[in-house]
Amino acid sequence: MADKDERDEAGEQALDLQQLKKRLDILDRRLDNIDSMVTAVAERVMSQPITFIVTCPRCGRSLEVAIIGTQKPTR
């Protein structure tokens, strides 16, 4: 009786490990996809200048922040 319970428990642990491995594989694929998307967006952003204009809520002054990528900006 104890042997059967031990075998059932070992079988459940093996199934749990298989499910955990599948979930980790799915997570790995999702992270790879996210990495690919972020890389593509970063490459697009770095190819052109970006300017943020932020207005201070207290004094109302505008602050301009420019981010320039690896390529020279053209006008």
The reported pTM is 0.50
For residue 37, the enclosing domain spans: 2-48
Residue 22 lies in a domain: yes
Instruction: Pick the more confident residue, 42 or 59.
Output: 59
Residue 30 lies in a domain: yes
Q: How many structural domains is the chain composed of?
A: 1
Q: What percent of the chain shows pLDDT beyond 70?
A: 81
Instruction: Pick the more confident residue, 24 or 67.
Output: 24
pLDDT, the chain, mean: 81
User: What is the reported pLDDT for 56?
Assistant: 85
CB 70 within 8 A of CB 49: no
Residue 24 lies in a domain: yes
Average pLDDT over residues 45-66: 83
Residue 35 DSSP class: H
Residue 20 lies in a domain: yes
Average pLDDT over residues 9-29: 90
Residue 33 lies in a domain: yes
Residue 34 lies in a domain: yes
